């Protein structure tokens, strides 16, 4: 079983596979904003799409909590770049991190 949980005590979203932590997305929370700083999937779980599932759930949680996103983590920024439905979450000061070469100036 795969599940993604927010672990506020550790300031990260975690993805669990059969109860084992397979990876996490570290964040800093400020009023009205969540800054994603690092995402990691353990080696034995790579290549299974868990990173994308982790980040999409974290972004959905951010949307539900009405938080602006600062994607300092390159994995999160790349995910948003490939999934433009999340770009509206990005704080305007960080939009350059998620724009693609096909975006209008």
Residue 46 lies in a domain: no
Residue 8 lies in a domain: yes
The domain in which residue 14 lies consists of 1-41
**What domain count does the chain have?**
1
Determine the Cα angle at 40 with ends 61 and 69, to 5°.
Answer: 35
First to last CA, the chain: 43
In whole angstroms, what is the distance from residue 7 CA to residue 44 CA? 22
Give residue-wise pLDDT tens across range 47-64. 999 999 999 999 999 999
* pTM (whole model) above 0.85: yes
Give residue-wise pLDDT tens across range 83-98. 999 999 999 999 988 8
Residue 32 lies in a domain: yes
């Amino acid at each position: 079983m795969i599940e993604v949980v927010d672990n506020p005590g550790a300031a990260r979203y975690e993805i669990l596979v059969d109860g084992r932590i397979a990876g996490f997305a570290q964040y800093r929370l400020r009023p009205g904003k969540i800054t994603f700083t690092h995402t990691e999937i353990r080696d034995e779980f790579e290549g299974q799409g868990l990173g994308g599932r982790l980040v999409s759930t974290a972004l959905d949680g951010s949307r539900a909590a009405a938080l602006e996103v600062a994607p300092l983590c390159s994995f999160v920024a790349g995910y948003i770049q490939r999934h433009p439905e999340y770009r509206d979450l990005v704080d305007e000061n960080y939009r350059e991190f998620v724009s693609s070469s096909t975006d209008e100036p």
